[in-house]
Structure 1
Amino acid sequence: MNDPTVSDDPLKTGGAFGSGLGESAFPEDGKGSLIGQHVGNVRIVEFIGAGGMGEVYLGMDERLDRKVAVKVLSPGLRVSDDVRNRFYREARILSRLDHRSICRLYDLVDSSDSPCLLLEYLDGRPLGELVGSLSEEEILDIGIQVAQALAAAHREGVIHRDLKPDNIMVMADGTVKILDFGIGRLIEDIGPEPVLPAEPAHPKAHCGDTPTIQGAIIGTPRYMSPEQALGEPVTPATDVFSLGIVLFVLLEARSPYATEDAMALLAMIPTVRIEEPPSASPALRNFIMRLLGKDPMERPTAGEAVAGLNRIQEAPQRKRRRIWASAAVFIGVAALVGALVGGRILGEGRYRCRGFERHLEDIWDPGIQEALGSGYQSIGRDHTWSLLQPVFEDYSRQWLTLREDVCQSTWIQREQTPELLDLEVECLDQHLQSMASLLLVLAEDPAATVDRAVQAALALPSMEPCLNADLVRSRVPLPEDPEVRRRVAEARKGIADARALYDTGKYPRGWDVLDSLDPSIRSLEYKPLSALSDYVRGLLLEKLGEIRQAEDVLKEALLEAEVGRDDRLSAQAWIRLVWIRGVVLTDMERIDETIEFAHAALGRLGDDPELEGALANHQSILMMIRGDKQGALDFCMEALRLRKLAFGDSHPKVASTLQNCANVLAEMGDAEGALELAGESLDMRMELLGPIHPSVYISLEGVADILNDLGRKEEALQLRQKAI
């Protein structure tokens, strides 16, 4: 091929967008010469930018009352046949394309002097400005949209040939637009590239991103495919390779090549082995390397790229509705908060979905952490704080992750309505209040709550139901009156305080809090609120020994939950009634009917392993009361399965269920099986709650009893001494 010479693209204007064009290659006095003139129905009102040999203006279509971008050849430029044909080719290409992620052509206005294109006006930011500021989830979203646009172009027989971040616009709502098909080509025209006259590069051009015309080579070196760098005919696979480079650059904020010199790049691209992007997740890393295959025939098509990126995005561990579970494993709360406040904003939608960490400033702040840490240290329970702190950090992290996630689903992905977002946020904020109330109770008297602190923190309500759209929509909405809403929020805070007192064993104080709130709650006549209050009142009455009154209050909570359409609270109340009637009162005449109602309530929820596990656990104990040991074991093992599904393999409720199952096996005469489960429960409680927790003492006694039954009396004695 000819000696390559880098030059500016004769028609490179940066596309039809309103900002971020960079410096022009033209003298200042050449700019803006068309302002005030008309092109058909379009009045040119503002100069936007220039590059190469073209200019872009903002125009107003006075007939349709809309903004357009007007792309023209620079004044004074000699319009050769080659240049004019290039301009027409861009119009011909754009006329074939009608896709939401491709800048639209409205019209080609021809004249004897100079043609111009009327294009969709895009008020966004070039993707190049966002390099280094995007998360992998955002990069996946952008990559899918770009691949969809390429697939649409390829179906119409169009190859872009110059895909790069500066030719991709990100709009305020997070949608993507591909620009500048000025050097694009129709598949039907594929063959040797036309040899265009080379020009000296503009002195301010950056070589790595400069469009090149080198004998038979046209494109931007950094993003070229091997076949493109060799001057061979391009195919749709060329654009796919460029997409792989774009994804690499977005992930790593740098080129995959060791040089930015255009000539060196052209020599390097066909043979160099591109490193894997280290910042990418394994699945995305492997897929990018497929996009970057040297052989065009081995690369995925653009349509296959859409499917592949979608599979990565929709993998179970990445799914939006389960992101909280993986967040707890992968990132600390400080890292997440840093990402939220440090990342650059991707349009207006991204701006809406930042800064939620401010809601934690007065809840999980250094002051309360210091108070708790020093409080436990003063009573010689440092280990409790070391166990408790990560639980609250995980809960904070889950809340932040989900709060941003539901926002993005509304304002960026446009997957749901603002009305649903309001319901999800209302639910998430109630969970955050639960954490705030518990922290205040623990900090107030660490010594009195130390034995229940970790269990109470681990019992904070799961946030996953907040993402159940059917569930949050079904509940009676908040009243419209702002003053009533304020009073509801105050009452919810009081109920959360009472629940925190219940979870930490302060039953009389919890009752006093709710008793003082009751007149205000009743006056609001908002059934979801009074149902929640009565449910917590029922729990407190049970612990205070008022069992019959607890049953009556829980029945009242059921009726209010039905009127308020709070299906989950209704199921919780039925399950608690199973416990009270069956286990506490042993009222066998009504228990079967109560269980049926509990199952019916659960059926309205769909899958809810937390509540299903609680009911199965109660039924296991009921079977033992009735003398059905095999039935007890079956229900216990089902409860164990469900609770592991709900809470993970290590949780106090899992440990408690293991101990229950061990007790059943011991009653059935299977001491070896009982010892295995009881030992597992003991180890779990030691790890979760610390070696001197009362639950650990109970487990030690349980294991000692089983060892004694097995005739291993010396080991049993040692365990009892350890418990003492």
Structure 2
Amino acid sequence: MEHLDAAEFTRFLRGQLSPERAAQVERHLATCGPCAERLSSEGEAVTEVPPDQQEVSYATGAAFGTGDSAVAPSREPVTPQWIKEGRPPERGEQVGRYLILEKVGQGGMGTVYAAWDPDLGRRVAIKLLRMDKQHAEGRTVGQARLLREAQAMARVTHPHVISVYDVGTLGEGVFVAMEFVDGTTLKKWIKEKPHAWHEVLDTFVAAGRGLAGAHAAGLVHRDFKPDNVLIGKDGRIRVTDFGLARLAEEGAEPPRPALPAGAPVDESPELAQLTQDGHAVGTLMYMSPEQRRGEAPDARADQFSFCVALYWALFGVWPFERQRSAKDADYSPASSHKGTSRPSQRTGDLRPVDPTTGAFEPPREPRVPAFVRRAILRGLAPDPKDRFPSMEALLTQLEYRPRQVRLAAGAAAMVLLASVGGYAWYAHGAAARQALVCSGAEQKLAGIWDAAVRKQVTDGLVATGNPQAADVATRVTGLLDGYTRDWVEASTEACRATRIRGEQTEALLSLRVVCLERRLKDVKAVTGLLASADPELLPKAADTVSLLPSLQGCADVTTLSQVEPPPDSPQARQEIERISSQLAQAKALTDAGRYKQARDVAEPAVQAASALGYRPLEAEALFFKGAAEARAGAPEDAERNLTQALRTALASHNDPVMTRSASTLLFAIGFNPERLEEALRWSEFAKASLARMGGNEELEGELFNYLGVTYTRLGKNTESLASLQRALQLVERSLGPDHVRRANILGNMGNAYRQEGQFEDSVRVYTQAIEIRERLSGPTHPIVGYLYYGRAQSRLRLEDFEKAEADAKRSLEIHIAARGPEHPETGDAYDVVGQVYLASKRYREALEPYQKALDIKEKTVGKDDETVSYSALGLGLSYLELDESAKALPLLERVLKITHDPRTQGDAYFGLARAMDAMGRKDPEVLANAQKAWDAFHGVKETEIAKEIADWMARHPSAPVAAKGKSRTAKKGR
């Protein structure tokens, strides 16, 4: 089809095209960028949006200009004309960026419209509060419920739950943009024609899977009914309308009053939906007894509603009297109906009542199997404890279909054997055929992770000549075995979801396959790097494998389907494959600590992706380039590329890259002590981005880890520990308890606890981090050395000198093995050994480690480096305690020339005062240095230390007042 002309645009927007022609236009707009942009501009003209209006993300409230500046505050969105006039929108008018096509449905509170998304070239469903609910009280309740529905649905990523794409503002209200389902409701599907019982059951089981998915995400639907289940023309079933859903994490819900006596029950949704302020809410025909009583329902209430709906769908009647009222909230005592009957909905039909549930026993026709009847009745139990423990348990029971082989009386045993044997052969063959449909994923590992590649990796690591290389190779190959095994399982599951269970379309399978193929490129990049390892790479080999991208993202079909689709041409697809391989290499290099190389690989990938015009890939390339620059110590370049990555990701709906770009901006800008508060603002954008994509625990964990580190740098230890604790929970759930990222977070928590003075907690989390790191990376990994270093300092402050000494010496051993005997970080390890000796008054023993630390640092980083001051200070204080003040004096004076740390300055000034005093220097000079020490510690609010110095000054002969005190250096080393 050629480009659309102006007349065709106008007729399309006004609804004047035939259905066939309108469908052709929609298909054309989905593939023609210029026409889609033109449609958007035509829509803007209809709603009088100024041409210079910035692009606004209604999900985040952020606006982007065209320059390279960071995110700027948004202008207020223009209120559409239909809102001003207080009427529903008409075809062609805008709701956010979406263009209204037609009204498709209406419920008790909301109206749903089909709309066009010009950015992605597809239909969406827009839900708005009904205009007759726009009075003040109804609007407040309704808008809150609509927003709540969006928040609830966004938490669930499941093929049988409707997907939320966007939430936006309209004047004082909100709208929700959702997945458009071209089909019907489950209620209409049931009523339109008779269906076999097993067809009805299969449909409900699929809907039940959606409910179970919501429960797994911590949601209780609270209003499940056939009206809230959609069946698409593609056959996929989706649960919708989470307006009454409640999050489990919100805690106990305050009780509500029970329903008023005589509250009617009716099949009509408009009459059955009770929304009285303060009372139980839901649809009465399906409402559980505890919900009718105003109690806080859990997932078992959804199970009750599901069984009411399934009962009605299978048997054509209701399980309870339709005109029951609130006084029947407990339905009936179990004993009162034994051997009795009550009228059913059918005139003259007296049906027996199940004594356990108080429900009518199901009719004998249709011939629904007994196991289905039993499962439904158990789900209808008045007491939640008597129902199934979960939706999954109920669905498992419903899916059990025993095959009974009935034979006429007197049939020969041979016939029985032949029948059973024939069925067994058929069942075995069917199972085998199904298994073959999705088999063979492991064959894709050929040349990526097989015996030959394993040998190359092992040989490459061993060739570094490091004594630990063989152990590292064993750990690395084990990690790769686990990752590729999970990859095969994920690939097979993606196939089964489409080809066997029919839960997902071929289009969704294609998206998952593309994502999984990208993960294989990541594996190939890592194994190639390890096969050519050098000694510097060896300590980072295990981390490089542990940081391979999670496979969970390849199962997130909602996020995958929102990203701008790739071009159709074979040449473009081939170029995307090539650029993707470059980006996999850039990521592997970054994780291996080769930041400059990673940046050099990412640069041409950025240029190629930009030339191709495929924005999601361009955003990803910009992100990897910026991430490498952030870690290479080039914050300005990193900020520029990460900001551009974020803008490009937003424009192309690449939400994961948008989130990671914002999180990494927090990390990059946070290196500048003067911009820490500014860095925190990016965390708010990252949170909004996570909300837009419906949540992602792995990415959220990464964000909160960066937040914790930034708060630590700001000295906000309470906020730091809260953020790190949140990060720890998220990473445990998404990546497991033994992942390297969990160990990293625990190490950061150890630092924060130590800075806060919570030394016992610091020791505890350091210990957990050490245990994980030693299992994953080996006992001589450099990070393990850092963790022992931190734990030694915390134990030192607890005056647990024996264990502190063991940790300090272990840290030193690891640093010598991993870094060599003359590395500056080995010098730091010598420092902590000296600290232990100094604090435990073993002054003579402290001299050797401090002197070694001083010699190493002078040789490797220079005599005036800040880190030299710590070694010189420890050595000087050790000489001072040994009454060798002449040796202490020049060391302490040297410290004051090179340090900028107020605490180190305070220690040096006080040591200098004591040394001068011991050497008989003039009192004013001695007291002047002591006063400077007091000023330094008082300035950083170290009040106890400042008091010790004041006491010492008071005891000095020239001071007017004498007071008892004690030496600080005997208590604390630095």
TM-score bin, normalised by smaller chain: 0.5 to 0.7
- Write out aligned runs for 1:539-688 (5 A): 539-584=627-672, 586-588=674-676, 590-688=678-776
Change (3 A) 1:447 1:371: farther
Q: Which shows bigger deviation, 419-428 or 650-659? A: 650-659
Measure, in 2, the Cα distance between the counterparts of 1:437 and 1:608.
25
**Counterpart position of 1:402:** 490
Distance (Å, rounded) in 2 between the aligned partners of 1:650 and 1:177: 40
Structure 1 residues 677 and 182: alpha-carbon distance in aligned structure 2, compared to 1, 3 A threshold? closer
1:366 aligns with 2:451: yes
> Residue 807 of structure 2 corresponds to which residue in structure 1?
719
C-alpha distance in 1, partners of 2:601/2:503? 41
Maintained 8 Å contact 1:399/1:428: yes
Q: Indicate whether 1:393 and 2:601 are aligned.
A: no
| Closer, same or farther: CA 446–370 of 1 in aligned 2, 3 Å | farther
CA distance in 1, matches of 2:512, 2:778: 35
What per-residue deviation string (whole Å, max 9, x for no partner) do you get for residues 653-690 of structure 1? Answer: 11121122122222222222211111221222111110
Change (3 A) 1:98 1:681: closer
Measure, in 2, the Cα distance between the counterparts of 1:721 and 1:347: 60
Displacement after TM superposition at 1:622 (Å): 2.5
Whole-Å Cα distance in 1 between the matches of residues 601 and 675 of structure 2? 31
When residues 623 and 98 of structure 1 are mapped into structure 2, their CA distance, relative to the original with a 3 A threshold, is closer
TM-score relative to the length of structure 1 = 0.55
Alignment of 1:317-716 (within 5 A): 346=431, 350-378=435-463, 379=465, 380=467, 381-445=469-533, 447-584=535-672, 586-588=674-676, 590-716=678-804
Give deviations 1:608-664, integer Å, cap 9, x for gaps: 222212222222222223332222222222222222122211222111211221222
Pairwise CA distance, 1:397: 1.2
Q: Are residues 475 and 506 of structure 1, via their aligned partners in 2, closer, same or farther at CA, if it must alter by over 3 Å?
A: same
Shift of 1:569: 0.7
When residues 516 and 369 of structure 1 are mapped into structure 2, their CA distance, relative to the original with a 3 A threshold, is same
Cα–Cα, structure 1 residues 591 and 513, in superposed 2: closer, same or farther, change >3 Å? closer
> Displacement, 1:591?
3.0
Distance change (3 Å), C-alpha of 1:345 and 1:391: farther
CA deviations 1:190-233 (Å, max 9, x no partner) are xxxx5x5x77x8xxx6x87146xxxxxxxx6x99xxxxxxxxxx
Letter matched to residue 445 of structure 1: A
Equivalent positions of 1:169-248 (< 5 A) are 183=407, 194=409, 196=410, 209-210=417-418
Structure 1 Cα separation of the partners of residues 432 and 401 of structure 2: 13
- Report the Cα offset of residue 377 of structure 1: 3.4
**Residues matched between the structures, number:** 429
Q: Is the 8 A contact 1:620 1:635 kept in 2?
A: yes
1: CA distance, partners of 2:675 / 2:367: 76
Unaligned runs of 5+ in 2: 1-193, 201-310, 316-362, 371-398, 813-974
State the distance in 1 between where 2:197 and 2:668 align: 61
Deviation at 1:420, TM superposition (A): 0.8
Q: How big is the alpha-carbon RMSD for the aligned residues of Structure 1 and Structure 2?
A: 3.4
Pair 480,178 (structure 1): closer, same or farther in 2 beyond 3 Å: farther
The one-letter code matched in structure 1 to 2:732 is K
Alignment of 1:35-46 (within 5 A): none
Distance 1:158 1:424 in 2: 38
Counterpart-to-counterpart distance in 2, 1:506 and 1:633: 30
CA distance in 2, matches of 1:711, 1:362: 55
> Is the 1:97–1:156 Cα contact (8 Å) retained in structure 2?
no
Taking the aligned partners of 1:611 and 1:592, their CA distance within structure 2 comes to 16
Matched AA of 1:355: G
Q: Is the CA contact 1:583–1:618 (under 8 Å) kept in the aligned structure 2?
A: no
Q: Secondary structure, in 3 states, of the residue corresponding to 2:537?
A: helix
CA distance in 2, matches of 1:400, 1:713: 50
Q: Deviations over 1:290-313 (max 9, x none)?
A: xxxxxxxxxxxxxxxxxxxxxxxx
Secondary structure of the residue aligned to 1:363 is coil
Bigger RCO (CA 8 Å, 6+ sep): 1
Taking the aligned partners of 1:365 and 1:448, their CA distance within structure 2 comes to: 26
- Cα distance in 2 for partners of 1:663, 1:570 equals 29
Shift of 1:100: 6.1
Q: Corresponding residue for 2:325? A: none
Q: Say if 1:356 and 1:403, in contact at 8 Å, map to a contact too.
A: yes
Identity of aligned residues (%): 24
Structure 1 residue 407, shift from structure 2 partner: 0.9
After TM superposition, the score normalised by the length of structure 2 is: 0.41
**Aligned partners of 2:795 and 2:659: how far apart in 1?**
40
Tell me the secondary structure at the aligned position of residue 502 of structure 2.
coil
* TM-aligned CA distance change 1:581 to 1:101, over 3 Å: closer
Superposed CA deviations along residues 366-410 of structure 1, whole A, max 9, x for unmatched, are 111112223333423211122112211111111111111111111
What is the DSSP-based 3-state SS (H/G/I as helix, E as strand, rest coil) of the residue aligned with 1:447?
coil
Question: Unaligned regions of 5+ residues in structure 1, if any?
Answer: 1-95, 103-147, 161-174, 185-193, 212-219, 224-242, 254-343
Q: Structure 2 CA distance, aligned partners of 1:512 and 1:719?
A: 40
